[in-house]
A and B are shown apart, each in its own frame.
Chain A
Amino acid sequence: MKVVTALGRLWLVPVALVVWEVVTRAAEQPFFPPPSAILARMHEMWFSGPLSRLLLTDDALADLGPSLARLFSGWLITAIVGVAAGIAIGCSPRLSDYVNPLIQLGRAVPPPLLVPFFLALLKLGTPAQLATIVFGVVWPILLNTIDGARTVDRQHLETARIFGFSAAERLWRVILPSALPKIFAGLRLALSLALILMVIAEIFAGTDGIGYRLLYTQRSYLYPDMWGCIVLLGVLGYLLNSAFLLVERRVLAWHRGARQTT
C-alpha cells in the first residue's frame, strides 16, 4: 500500500527521466548526453569495483575519499568550535554586545571571495580548503547556537538555581539540551553549505576530489563524466541531508514530542 502511494507521489520523476532521455537522444548535442549514458559512465567510473568494496572502484575511493574527509573534518571542527563559542556568547549578553558587529560582518562576507586569500596565505591543498569550508560554515552554526543559548526558558534556569546545579550541570543538563533544536538547525544548514564550499575549494585549491574531477572533466571535454560528477554531487547532497535528518529525529525526539502536545 505504502509502495503504491509512494509511486503515485513520485510518478513525475521517471516521466522526467524518460523525456530527458528522448529529447537528448533526438537533439544529439554533445553537451547534453542522455541520462542513460551518464549513468553508464558513472557506473563505469565509480561503481564497477569488486563486491568486497561495495562495488566502489579505485577512482571512486580516490574521488570520494578526500572529498568526504574534507567535508566532514571541516564541518566537525567548525561544529565543535562554533557551538562552544556560540554557547559562551549566548550565555553572556555583555560578550554578545562586544562581538556582535564582528560576527555580522563576518557572516556578510561571501566565502568564495576569500579563497584566493587563503591560497596566498596557506598552502595549496588541505589547509586552504579547510580554511574555506570552516570560514563559510561557521556563521550559521554560531548564530543559531547563540540564539538557542540566549532563549533558554527562564523557568528552566531558575529551577537549576533552586536545586543548586553546578555550573557544569547547568551547561550540560539545561542550556545545551534546550539550545539543541536550534543548534541542529544550524548544523544542517552548515552541512549543505559545507558541500558547496567543498566543491569551490576543490575547484580552486584542489589536486583531487569530486570538485577537482568536475573541473578536470569539463576542461577535457568529457561531457558524460562531467554530468556524472554533477549527479553524484546531487546524490551526495540528498543523502547527507537525509542522514542528518534521521539523526536529528532520534536525538530530538523529546523536542518533537513536546512540540506536538503543547
Chain B
Amino acid sequence: MDYARVLRGAAGVAGFLAVAELVGLSGLVDDRFLPRMSTVLGAATGLVADPEFLADAGATLTVWALGLLLTVALAVSAGLLLGTLPRAEAATRPLIEFLRPIPSVAVIPLAILLFSDNLHLKLAVIVYAASWPVLINTIYGLKDVDPLAKETLRSFGFGPVSVLARVALPSAAPFIATGIRVASGIAVILAISAELMAGGSEGVGIYITEAASGGRVDLMLAATLWAGLFGLVADAVMVAAERRLFRWHHVRTGGAR
C-alpha cells in the first residue's frame, strides 16, 4: 500500500521532469531564459562539488542556525515571562498585535541603516521576524497547562520555579516546538531576503544574484532546487523529532477528539 504511494510520488516527479524537458526541447521557450530540465539537473549535480556554492550555502546555513538559536532563546524566555504573568501578558497583547502584522521584510531597510556589521543585521531581522510564532505559541502553551497538575505539585510544597520547570514547561513544549518549526521557515526567508537586499560577500542569495548578473539561469534554478530540498529535509527532521519527543501529546489530543 505504502509502496504504491512512493511509486506514484516518484512517477509524479518523473512526469514533471519529463514535461519540463519536453517543453525545453520543443523550442517553445528560449533556453537562455528557461534552460532545459536536464541542464538544470546537471548544474545541480555540479554544485555539490562547487566550493564557491558550498561556501555560500554554508554561510546562509550558519546565519539561519544562529538566528534561530537566538530567536528561541529570546522568544521562549519572553514567552515564559509573559505566560506566567497574566497581567503583563494582557498589557503587552495589544502591542504585540500591532507589531506582528508589520511585514517583516519591511524592517530590513531600517536594519541596513542601523547595523554596520552584515551578520548582526541578518541576525536582527531574523530574530525580529521569527520571534512572533515562538512567542505566541509559548504563551498559548503555558495557558493550556492543566491547572490540576500545577496544584498537585504546589500541594506537595513545590515552589513556583519548580512548578514551571516540572509541569508548565514540559506541557507547553509541543506548542513551543511547533512555533520553532514555523519560525525556522521564516528565518530562511529573512536570511535570504537580507542577503538580496543588503548585499554582503557570501550566502545563497548572493550566489543567485551573481548567477543572475552572469545570465546563468541554470545555476539559479539549481541553487533554488537545493534550497528547496534542504528546506524539505529540515522540515521533515523537525516533524519527526516532534513526533518522537511528544508522542504523549499526540496521544492525549488524539484521544480527546
Interface of chain A residues 180 through 209 with chain B (CB within 8 A): 192, 195-196, 198-200, 203-204
Known contacts A100-B12, A101-B9, A203-B197: does B107 contact A110 (CB below 8 Å)? Answer: no
Contact B227 A109 (CB under 8 A): yes
Interface of chain A residues 113 through 138 with chain B (CB within 8 A): 113-117, 119-121
Q: Does B193 contact A (CB under 8 A)?
A: yes
A133 and B251 CA atoms in complex are apart in Å by: 38
The total of Cβ contacts below 8 Å across the A-B interface reads 145
Q: Does A159 contact B (CB under 8 A)?
A: no
Q: Does A98 contact B (CB under 8 A)?
A: yes
- Chain A residue numbers with a CB within 8 Å of B232 are 104-105, 108
Residue of A117, A119, A198, A214 with most partner-chain B CB within 10 A: A117
Q: Categorize the interface residue count of chain B.
A: 35 or more
Which of A102, A110, A192 is the one whose CB lies under 8 Å from B231? A110
Contact B189 A234 (CB under 8 A): no
* Stretch touching chain B among A47-55, A169-177, A225-233, A252-260: A225-233
Q: Please, what's the 1-or-0 string for A14-34, where 1 marks a CB less than 8 Å from any CB in chain B? A: 001000000000000001000
Further pairs besides A198-B103, A227-B110: 4, Cβ < 8 Å: A9-B93, A102-B13, A108-B228, A234-B106
Q: How far is the CB of A101 from chain B (nearest CB, A)?
A: 4
Residue of B nearest to A198 (CB): B103
Q: Please, what's the 1-or-0 string for B1-33, where 1 marks a CB less than 8 Å from any CB in chain A? A: 000110011111101100000000000000001
Residue of B nearest to A16 (CB): B95
Contact B102 A237 (CB under 8 A): yes
Contact A237 B212 (CB under 8 A): no
- Chain B residue numbers with a CB within 8 Å of A234 are 98-99, 101-103, 106
A110 and B193 CA atoms in complex are apart in Å by: 9
Contact A116 B208 (CB under 8 A): yes
Interface of chain B residues 44 through 94 with chain A (CB within 8 A): 90-94
A97 and B1 CA atoms in complex are apart in Å by: 11
- Chain B residue numbers with a CB within 8 Å of A203 are 105, 197
Which of B34, B97, B104, B223 is the one whose CB lies under 8 Å from A121? B34
- Chain B residue numbers with a CB within 8 Å of A196 are 103-105, 189
Contact A120 B33 (CB under 8 A): yes
Residue of A nearest to B17 (CB): A102
A40 and B22 CA atoms in complex are apart in Å by: 58
Residue of A nearest to B215 (CB): A120
Contact B16 A229 (CB under 8 A): no
